[in-house]
Structure 1
Amino acid sequence: MTQSPQNEIVFYNELLSEIKARIQQGQIRAVLSANAELLMTYWDIGRMLHLRQQEEGWGAGVIPKLSKDLRNDLPEMKGFSERNLGRMVRFYREYPGLSAILPQAVTKLGAGKETDAEEEVTTPILSSPDWLRLVFRVSWTHNILLIQKLKELDLRCWYLEQTIANGWGRDTLTAMIKSKAHERQGSGVSNFDERLPSRQSEFAQQLLKDPYIFDFLTLEEPFREQELEAGLVAHLETFLLELGAGFAFVGRQYHVEVGDNDFYIDLLFYHLRLRCFVVVELKKGEFKPEYAGKLNFYCNVVDDKLKHETDEPTIGLLLCQGKDRILAEYSLRGIQKPIGIADYELTQALPQELKSSLPTVEEIEAELVGELDGDEGTE
């Protein structure tokens, strides 16, 4: 509906006043629940903008002016750039059903008149209130990333759950989406169903990825298993993120004695949720049946020498550069210890001149820390 220029000014000033009031009211409650209040505020602003665009026929051109006025009138507030206001509109359009679970007070704050325009978008993408509540458990930047990268409901929900369960930061979430973590999760070959109690087997299988992505390493071919092992330990924090939540590093080339013989376990971890040791063996090249036997041996030794009475049975994880699944399944038959077999993938070897120009681990970590600190809950 087209309005006269004078009416447009009146309607615009009303909208500006409503949004300013909503922001200021949100500030009061932000002390109690900062992230949830921020998301509710942004959702409500998106709703206001959407409804006014539908009712008054305003286009996207109102957003630059609104952004400028909000930042002039509320200079202490961040997050009201043109881009972020546009994101708020999209946030509302993606999740109009959030109104069903928002506190009643939120609905009352700045709520305009109900119109047919709202009815056009009230079929929520997330149909279950349980799913919708997940939205409030991650940050604004996480939510926008998920909306931008994932259109499918089931995938968005899966990454929401994993972000909450694993404490993924925005950059980790980005990497997990890029590497299609949802396709890799729980897809390795294992005998967990036969060798672990039911309460553990399903969870352990879900922890098993296939393949594991070690794209943070830049090994040059030909490389040795020891170099792969050293690289993973050097990038331990990133390696632990790829393994998943709950892994605690115990040691590299962990020494155990059996009779008069010395043995060295490639990597030894303890899983805090499974309450067990995890022996990781790294192999360059394709899987071979004899690898499963040796890993079974190491699990036996750890159970005998390190496992406490309250610990669950040790789990073995064998990582190779490839495997024949049928061969791997046959190799696990008769193996008494719980073992998982999965592939790992590396990035292509980089030219030496390019490799020398890459930032150091310390430089990358400093950049990530600064970026996360500066972005959470703002633009």
Structure 2
Amino acid sequence: MNLNESIITDIRSIINNSRDQAVRAVDQERVLMYWQIGKRIFEEEQGGEERAEYGSQLLKFLSEKLQPQFGTGFSARNPAWFRQFYKSFPIVSALRTQLSWSHYKSLLSLNSDDKVSFYREETIKNNWTARQMDRQISSNLYERLLLSTDKESVLSVARNEKQPENAKELIKDPMVLEFLGLKPDAAYYEKDLENALITHLREFMLELGNGFSFVARQKRIHLDGDDFLVDLVFYNRLLQCFVIVELKTHKITHQDIGQLQMYVNYYDRIERLQHETPTIGILLCLEKNDTVVKFTLPENSNIIASKYQLYLPTAEQLSREIQNEVEKQKDLGKK
């Protein structure tokens, strides 16, 4: 008897999908349960005469009574989380149950309603795990996008209220590549950087932005007897265009920009279909000179120079970057 192995594959897939759905269903119920508990705690506190003192005593009382029966999920800190959860999302229909309790706990630690809205919408849209969302929060994704566009545009793109109109609404500057494991003070070549990016391709595409898919590595271009190799080629389904990424482990020069311009021209004239938008070029470099970029390229160019760094930026660093950008825009307005 010849047994078909495909039935085993199919049944395994059914089992795994069912398990995944069961886990998601349990977590959705847990989110709603914590919200309802938070609502009840809040209502009880509102009925107390000395609210601050009563609230503190109430949380301690709840933990002492519930933890022995229901476990560490009701330790002293958690009832306070449930209360904050309800206060932050007071309308149950506004809850997005695609998110787990781990997602919501991270969102509750943010200090801005705009940030909460941004990370919640981006997480749902991109199906980020709690760990992926935490990484984006730690790398200050929201603030880095504000460096290239305005707050309302960042939020409207996140909420799907508008499609991104250009690369600057998707591409981050700087890009943070701490997941590569390369040391800032160590010697490495462009090939090392490329290999590390390919090894961590999923994380790199997450850092690149929304809608990216991988096309090619070291794509060979043959031009009248001369061969050239394009480091990385992606496609962005939101902008409907090819995206060329060239890697430089030094401060970029006008020759680097010219090389990337040639690759972008090739893709625009040879590879791009009629319905697609112009190719975008990203020069990912260790250091850049915005003035050199500005005067090397024509106005409204589709080439973007973006710095990369191998460590997470601090809030102070991002604050300085944003302030510098504000001052730069003011100076341009005076001219």
Q: Same fold (TM over 0.5)?
A: yes
C-alpha distance in structure 2 between counterparts of 1:185 and 1:151, whole Å: 17
For the structure 1 residues 201 and 67, does the alpha-carbon distance in structure 2 shift closer, same or farther, using more than 3 Å as the test? Answer: closer
Rg bigger for which structure? 1
Return the letter of the residue paired with 2:206.
L
Q: CA deviation at 1:85?
A: 3.5
Structure 2 residue corresponding to 1:219, chosen from 176, 182, 192: 182
- Structure 2: 5+ residue stretches without partners: 1-21, 49-53, 150-161, 313-335
Q: Aligned pair 1:92/2:82, yes or no?
A: no
Structure 1 residue corresponding to 2:107, chosen from 140, 143, 146: 146
C-alpha distance in structure 2 between counterparts of 1:164 and 1:331, whole Å: 39
Give matches, 1:234-245, under 5 Å.
Answer: 234-245=199-210
TM (norm. structure 1) is 0.63
Q: Which residue of 1 aligns with 2:302?
A: 338
1:268-292 CA deviation, whole Å, 9 max, x = no partner? Answer: 1111222211100011121222222
C-alpha distance in structure 1 between counterparts of 2:264 and 2:75, whole Å: 56
Q: Is the 8 A contact 2:167 2:302 kept in 1?
A: no
Off by >4 Å, runs of 4+ in structure 1: 30-38, 78-83, 134-137
Give matches, 1:15-164, under 5 Å.
Answer: 38-55=30-47, 57=54, 58-68=57-67, 71=70, 83-96=77-90, 98=91, 102=92, 133=94, 135-148=96-109, 150-164=110-124
Q: CA deviation at 1:80?
A: 5.2
Q: CA deviation at 1:187?
A: 3.4
C-alpha distance in structure 2 between counterparts of 1:85 and 1:228, whole Å: 46
Q: Which residue of 2 aligns with 1:289?
A: 254
C-alpha distance in structure 1 between counterparts of 2:97 and 2:245, whole Å: 36
Q: Is the 8 A contact 1:63 1:86 kept in 2?
A: no
3-state DSSP class of the match of 1:61?
Answer: helix
Count matched residues: 270
Q: Is the 8 A contact 2:67 2:73 kept in 1?
A: no
Return the letter of the residue paired with 2:289.
D
Alignment identity in percent? Answer: 34
For the structure 1 residues 90 and 186, does the alpha-carbon distance in structure 2 shift closer, same or farther, using more than 3 Å as the test? Answer: closer
Q: Is the 8 A contact 1:215 1:346 kept in 2?
A: yes
Aligned CA-pair RMSD: 3.0
TM (norm. structure 2) is 0.71
C-alpha distance in structure 2 between counterparts of 1:64 and 1:186, whole Å: 41
1:161-186 CA deviation, whole Å, 9 max, x = no partner? Answer: 22222222111111111111112116
Q: Which residue of 2 aligns with 1:279?
A: 244
Return the letter of the residue paired with 1:268.
V
**RCO greater where, 1 or 2, for CA within 8 Å and sep 6 or more?**
1
